[in-house]
């Protein structure tokens, strides 16, 4: 199914991403007042991703593993177009849906229903098109009447269900999933995993970030390991998980489906 002669769906070329953030060397009130008085600001640069290159072809599921702060979410945000790379180039061919752990994009004061409409409009659908998709999305979430309540009344898992349902019903060519299933219950995870696999069988492309190494091995066709922003290894999910597990000294079998 995967054809290497076709251009990749995602092409990441020598990408580096640096965040600039304010930095308090000694965060005391006195130092802050003194600096403010002199108009001085300390800026710290964090090199979150360093010279990373990889391609993902249609019909592939790329797993990304790595420790906290390794740069996984940063590279996903860059592929999603939310964050521009500081250098290098990212090319994406197709319609992208992104599922982030923190579920950016929903307005908690609006109902689930209203958020679905807004999400659809943001994805470029007409109001009529998205209204016609609403029933399918609503069935998929199994949230019932909660869809008419403000989203601040949702549990984390309910929030994830809606985010996932909206993302997959936008018919993405490329689905980016950054630890977005972790709050879901067993039933939701099973259903979400099946849905993701069916998208992949249709030759869509997926990037899957997770600390659940067993599930990642099951779901992905290839994997990369990032550490401190650098690409440490690329290979089959089994090889990459083995190398990463050895590095952090935790056997991959310690992770189960329950930690997705």
Ligand X SMILES: Nc1ncnc2c1ncn2[C@@H]1O[C@H](COP(=O)(O)OP(=O)(O)OP(=O)(O)O)[C@@H](O)[C@H]1O
Q: Using CB under 6 A, list all residues that contact ligand X.
A: 19, 21, 46, 48, 66, 68-74
| DSSP symbol at 94 | S
Q: Identify what 66 binds: ligand X, Mg ion, none; CB under 5 to 8 Å per kind.
A: ligand X
The residues with which 178 forms a beta bridge, in sequence order, are 100, 209
CA nearest to 237, candidates 198, 206, 259:
206
- Cα(185)–Cα(72) distance, rounded to whole angstroms? 24
Which residue bears the tokens 């309540």? 149
Q: Which is closer to ligand X, CB of 32 or CB of 102?
A: 102
Number of chain residues interacting with Mg ion (CB under 5 A): 2
By beta-carbon proximity to ligand X, the closer residue of 46 and 110 is: 46
- Least gap, CB of 22 to ligand X (angstroms): 10
Region 62-91 residues binding Mg ion, contact defined as CB under 5 A: 72-73
How far apart, in whole angstroms, are the C-alpha atoms of residue 224 and residue 217? 11
Whole-number minimum distance, CB 176 to ligand X, in Å? 12
Instruction: Residue 252: name its binding partner from Mg ion, ligand X, none (Cβ under 5 to 8 Å by kind).
Output: none
- Least Å distance, CB 75 to ligand X, is 7
Smallest gap, in angstroms, from Cβ of residue 179 to ligand X?
Answer: 7
How far is the C-alpha of 218 from the C-alpha of 210, rounded, in Å? 12
Residue nearest to Mg ion (CB): 73
Residue ranges in the chain assigned as alpha helix (H): 29-38, 72-80, 112-122, 127-141, 156-169, 186-201, 213-219, 237-248
Q: Which residues bind Mg ion (CB under 5 A)?
A: 72-73
């Amino acid at each position: 199914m995967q054809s290497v002669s076709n251009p990749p769906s995602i092409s990441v070329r020598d990408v580096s991403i640096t965040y600039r953030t304010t930095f308090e060397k000694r965060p005391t009130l006195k130092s802050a007042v003194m600096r403010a008085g002199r108009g001085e600001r300390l800026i710290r640069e964090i090199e979150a991703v360093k010279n990373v290159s990889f391609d993902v072809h249609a019909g592939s599921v790329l797993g990304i593993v790595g420790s906290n702060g390794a740069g996984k979410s940063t590279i996903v945000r860059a592929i999603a177009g939310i964050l521009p790379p500081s250098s290098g180039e990212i090319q994406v061919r197709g319609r992208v849906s992104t599922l982030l752990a923190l579920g950016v994009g929903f307005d908690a004061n609006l109902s689930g229903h209203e958020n679905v409409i807004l999400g659809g409009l943001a994805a470029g659908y007409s109001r009529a098109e998205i209204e016609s998709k609403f029933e399918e999305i609503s069935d998929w979430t199994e949230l019932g009447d909660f869809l008419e309540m403000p989203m601040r009344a949702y549990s984390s898992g309910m929030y994830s269900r809606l985010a996932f349902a909206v993302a997959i019903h936008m018919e993405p060519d490329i689905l980016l999933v950054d630890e977005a299933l972790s709050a879901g219950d067993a039933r939701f995870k099973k259903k979400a995993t099946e849905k993701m696999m069916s998208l992949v069988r249709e030759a869509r492309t997926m990037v899957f970030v997770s600390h659940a190494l067993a599930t990642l091995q099951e779901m992905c066709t290839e994997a990369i390991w990032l550490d401190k922003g650098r690409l440490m290894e690329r290979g089959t999910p089994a090889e990459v998980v083995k190398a990463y597990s050895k590095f952090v000294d935790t056997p991959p079998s310690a992770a189960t489906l329950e930690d997705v």
